[in-house]
Amino acid sequence: MAPGIESSCDKTGADLARDLITRLGNTLDDAVAEWFDEAARVFGLPYPDGPAIDAVTACAEHGVGTLS
């Protein structure tokens, strides 16, 4: 079982993954997206930050590279 959160522009969703993904809820609040924007800025990632964050997490999942 793994929790997940997704954010895109003006929407946020929370999911729970087991064998299938179960949607726990949605909101029109964009606070999560704003947090990602701020975290990307702090780490020096380019805007828009979505592709950059995806690339960093993909590398981290495979044990490649760091944010420093």
Q: Where are the domains of the chain?
A: 2-61
- The C-alpha angle 56, 4, 59, rounded to 5 degrees, equals 15
Question: Does the N-terminal peptide bond of residue 3 adopt cis geometry, omega within 30 degrees of 0?
Answer: no
Q: What is the pLDDT of residue 62?
A: 66
Residues 21-39: tens digit of each pLDDT: 888 888 887 787 788 888 8
Q: Rounded CA gap, 49 and 56, in Å?
A: 10
Model-level pTM?
0.52
8 Cβ partners below 8 Å, 6+ apart? 33
* Residues 30/12, Cβ–Cβ less than 8 Å: yes
